[in-house]
Amino acid sequence: MKRNGLLLYTALALAYAFLYLPIVLMVIYSFNASRLVTVWGGFSTKWYGELLHDDKVLDAAWLSLKVAVTNATLSTILGTLAAVVLVRFRRFPGRTLFGGMVAAPLVMPEIITGLAMLLLFVAMEETLGWPAGRSMTTIVIAHVTFSLSFVTVVVQSRLSQMDVSLEEAAMDLGARPLKVFLAITLPIISPALLAGWLLAFTLSIDDVVISAFVSGPGATPLPIVIYSKVRLGVSPEINALATIVVALVGVAIAVAGRMTLRRERNG
């Protein structure tokens, strides 16, 4: 038994190492005093300081954050609506088609979505005059188109697990359908909304492929900036930036996990 336990722990350690060693290395090297990424030159936080003065990176980070929050919020609203329609309205013409269309972006190659988006925006700009160039607006629109599918899937599963008689009971007690949705359905599926929001946020903030097509000189999100910097060689500054991103994402996930857990326990 004991040897078995040892084997299990070794396997576990290897698995963790496989998953997280690269990130740990990156975090360690972000505190490297040497400019050479692979040579340890002592502990230093100077790259973090330098990062603070790099306006290009800061602008990109701020833009990415704005895009991610807007995208997550829009996707959650639209995705929830789609999920409600798919779960609660069993029969309407085109339901199967609608279900398929909502889920399609999940399997659509990103590069095709990106290219299609770019073509659409260019065509629209020529015919309608909007959107003017590649901007935050175009990035958000493109991100919402694929993020909302993920939100729909998450909310859909929660909604179909929910006891329909809860909604019927509320209606029976005198609440009109909209009131039922706001007072009963929404609070009960809120953990799924939160999960969907976070998923959409994460998808948006680390997206490179689609952003590459729909961003422009005036509006470059962080992943694109990092990608273009890395092409000129990995700098410790990028490590510092990535470490900050990892820390932020880690905290966000921990907070969300705790909130979801507490809600689930409360039934």
Q: CB-based contacts of 22: which residues, under 8 Å, 6+ apart?
A: none
The residue (of 192 and 240) whose beta carbon lies closer to another protein is 192
Stretch that binds another protein, among 16-24, 98-106, 161-169, 198-206 (CB under 8 A): 161-169
Is there binding between residue 155 and another protein (CB under 8 A)? no
Is there binding between residue 170 and another protein (CB under 8 A)? yes
Contacts of 250-254 with C-beta under 8 Å, sequence gap 24+, read: 252/198, 252/201, 253/198
Of 175, 194, 234, 245, which one interacts with another protein (CB under 8 A)?
Answer: 175
CB 146 within 8 A of CB 109: no
Peptide bond into 109 cis (omega under 30): no
The residue (of 34 and 161) whose beta carbon lies closer to another protein is 161
Is there binding between residue 67 and another protein (CB under 8 A)? no
CB 171 within 8 A of CB 177: yes
CB 256 within 8 A of CB 49: no
Stretch that binds another protein, among 25-33, 118-126, 135-143, 169-177 (CB under 8 A): 169-177
> What is the nearest approach in angstroms of another protein to the Cβ of residue 169?
4
3-state class percentages of the chain: helix first, strand second, coil last, to nearest 5 = 80, 0, 20
Site size toward another protein (CB under 8 A) is 19
Is there binding between residue 176 and another protein (CB under 8 A)? yes
- CA 2/CA 70 separation, integer angstroms: 52
Amino acid at 131: P
The residue (of 96 and 127) whose beta carbon lies closer to another protein is 96
Of 14, 122, 161, 168, which one interacts with another protein (CB under 8 A)?
Answer: 168
What's the sign of the alpha-carbon dihedral 220, 199, 147, 103? positive
Is there binding between residue 127 and another protein (CB under 8 A)? no
Is there binding between residue 249 and another protein (CB under 8 A)? no
Of 174, 217, 232, 233, which one interacts with another protein (CB under 8 A)?
Answer: 174
Of 53, 173, 217, 233, which one interacts with another protein (CB under 8 A)?
Answer: 173
The rounded Cα 264 to chain-centroid distance in angstroms is: 22
- Interface contacts to another protein, rule CB under 8 A: 163, 165-166, 168-176, 179, 183-184, 187-188, 266-267
